[in-house]
Amino acid sequence: MPAYDLIVIGSGPGGYVCAIRAAQLGLKVAVVEKDTTFGGTCLNVGCIPSKALLHASELFEEAGHMFQRMGIGVGEPKLDLPAMMKFKDEGVDGNVKGVAFLFKKNKVEAFTGIGRIAAPGHVEVVSADGRRQTLDTKAIVVATGSDVARLPGIDIDEKRIVSSTGALTLDEVPQRLLVVGAGVIGLELGSVWRRLGAEVIVVEFLDRILPGIDAEVGRQFQRILQKQGVTFRLSSKVTAVDAAGKRLKATVEPAPGGAAETIEADVVLVAIGRVPYTQGLGLEAVGVATDNRGRIVVDPHFATNVAGIYAIGDVIAGPMLAHKAEDEGIAVAEILAGQAGHVNYDAIPNVVYTFPEVATVGKSEDELKAAGIAYNAGKFPFTANGRAKVNLTTDGFVKILADARTDRVLGVHIVGADAGNMIAEAAVAMEFGAAAEDIARTSHAHPTLTEAVKEAALAVGKRSIHM
């Protein structure tokens, strides 16, 4: 008899949630983690530290620009960057310790070391001191996540040429920060450093920011960020960074080709995306198939082509999001315990935690048009929402897209303060197959920003009240 029912490799949001859910269902579970702390990218160098800095820098900016308008006199706010970093680190520490506590509580055994699949049913753990041990198990779930995507010829030193990891630990505010990539991570971390005093220039290969997001949302969001002082160089690419001098010299070229120019910067943040991480796992030796982007191929039950080996989270296809990884972790644990685990990929929200926030769930207008689905759009701006007016947060709008025939909600897109919390209502509605009419007839507390969601639902039927 193998010692374990399940060994999870990787303790990020996919892995740790999977382990806990499997243990709840009575499985004997072990987790193998190569880092010294649990929680993966998300808790250590992703969601949690970035949100700590976004929150602190947002308050810093508010204290400097908004307090006086509301009659609060606190003088010019002063930045104590080491203290802000300590606040962030304490937040991370509390969260990663929380995972260790949950492992103990649920009797999940944790092993520190690099996990390698020696064969189906056998995981070898190599500790930092070189010690090796092999654990036997009925099933293996690979949850090894992702790593920073690199630009050829540009060496990340995490000091001046940084990935998101280095951008979370800068020890001074750069005079000028050049961000390569206008995706979620580039815009979030660019926002942090702009608020703290950096000039921020974002270079993006495509002709739009936030590729994949509803085009109207992207356009309006870009205008808002520009108003805040972020400069965009779209349809452009960074082809080299010269780090020889005191300041970095980035070579920027038009994407379709043409004359290059040099932009000087103190820090360059490479934020062009993330790639699945499978190093050291021994996938090839056991014959686990990967696709042309290095992602582990799984069936709808998260099973790979090798019996007894499953994969979830950033290491498989789909949006690289912590809650997507968690949902998959729960689903695969339930499947392994003989239940019917399932993830509804049509209702996974996506949030950009800038100010204002951008939050979307479901289909964009472009996707509906491309699929030939007839829809009605209802839109409501925060300028017409009473609470947004008194909060001085009138930037943005809510847009609801509903099937023209059935009125079923197909997509919800929000740009606005607190959009990340508001999108939960839309995700629940979509999970329940709600119509726009259902949202429109649901009582929303007054005065709240969520009334804009109700008004957008009313607008689908061309009957919003406050417009």
Ligand X SMILES: Cc1cc2nc3c(=O)[nH]c(=O)nc-3n(C[C@H](O)[C@H](O)[C@H](O)COP(=O)(O)OP(=O)(O)OC[C@H]3O[C@@H](n4cnc5c(N)ncnc54)[C@H](O)[C@@H]3O)c2cc1C
Site for ligand X in 277-306 (CB under 6 A): 277, 280-281
Between 46 and 378, name the residue whose CB sits nearer to ligand X.
46
Least distance CB 420 / ligand X (angstroms)? 9
> Closest residue (Cβ) to ligand X?
145
State the number of binding residues for ligand X (CB under 6 A): 36
- Identify the bridge partners of residue 148 per DSSP, sorted by sequence position: 274
In angstroms, give the least distance from the CB of 33 to ligand X: 5
Nearest to 169 by CA among 57, 45, 270: 45
Closer CB to ligand X, 15 or 91, in the complex: 15
Which of 115, 121, 174, 396 forms a contact with ligand X (CB under 6 A)? 115
Q: In the bound complex, what is the minimum distance in angstroms from residue 404's beta carbon to ligand X? A: 32
Minimal distance, residue 143 CB to ligand X, in Å: 5
Angle subtended at Cα 56 by Cα 53 and Cα 57, rounded to the nearest 5 degrees: 80
| Residue 295 backbone phi and psi in degrees, to 5 | -85, 145
Residue from 91, 121, 145, 416 touching ligand X (CB under 6 A): that is 145
Beta pairing class for 274-276 and 146-148: antiparallel
Give me the catalytic one of 65, 413, 446, 466.
Answer: 446
Of the residues 95, 164, 236, 360, which one makes contact with ligand X according to CB under 6 A: 164
Kindly give the pairing relationship between strand 176-180 and strand 274-276: unpaired
**What minimum distance in Å lies between the beta carbon of 320 and ligand X?**
4
The binder of ligand X chosen from 8, 20, 29, 143 (CB under 6 A): 143
Residue 144 has what DSSP assignment?
Answer: -
Task: Give SS3 for 390.
Answer: helix
Residues 17-56 contacting ligand X, CB under 6 A: 32-35, 40-42, 46-47, 50
| Crossing angle for the helix pair 322-336 and 13-24, to the nearest 10 degrees | 30
Interface with ligand X in residues 165-224 (CB under 6 A): 185
Which of 250, 322, 415, 452 touches ligand X (CB under 6 A)? 322
Of the pair 54, 401, the CB lying nearest ligand X is at 54
Q: Is the distance from CB of 455 to CB of 392 less than 8 angstroms? A: no
User: Shortest Cβ distance from residue 262 to ligand X (Å)?
Assistant: 28
182 vs 388, beta carbon nearer ligand X: 182
Kindly tell me which residue out of 96, 196, 288, 320 binds ligand X, with binding defined by CB under 6 A: 320
Nearer to ligand X, 115 or 174 (CB): 115
Separation of alpha carbons 252 and 268, rounded Å: 12
Residues 393-422 that bind ligand X (CB under 6 A): none
CB-CB contact of 352 with 358 (8 Å) = yes
Q: Which amino acid is at 13?
A: P
Given the complex with ligand X, which of 145 and 396 has the nearer CB atom? Answer: 145
301 is catalytic: no
**Helical residues (DSSP H) of 234-361, grouped into ranges:** 283-286, 322-336
**DSSP string spanning 341-362?**
----GGG--EEE-SSSEEEEEE
Among 57, 95, 137, 146, indicate the residue that binds ligand X (CB under 6 A). 146
Q: Measured from the CB atom, is 10 or 174 closer to ligand X? A: 10
329 to 368: interface string for ligand X, x by CB under 6 A: ------------------------x---------------
36, 47, 134, 336 from 116: Cα distances, Å: 17, 27, 9, 21
Nearer to ligand X, 263 or 269 (CB): 269
Closest distance of CB 8 from ligand X, Å: 9
We find the least distance from the C-beta atom of residue 312 to ligand X, in angstroms, to be 7
Cα–Cα distance, 51 to 92 (Å, whole number): 10
Q: How many CB atoms lie within 10 A of CB 41?
A: 26
Orientation angle between helical segments 451-460 and 419-431, nearest 10 degrees: 50
Q: Exposed, middle or buried by CB within 10 Å (0-12, 13-18, 19+), for 105?
A: exposed
379 forms bridges with which residues in the sheet? 399
CB count in 10 Å sphere of residue 344: 11
**Interface residues with ligand X (CB under 6 A)?**
9-15, 32-35, 40-42, 46-47, 50, 114-115, 143-146, 164, 185, 277, 280-281, 313-314, 320-323, 325, 353
**Residue positions annotated with a catalytic role:** 446
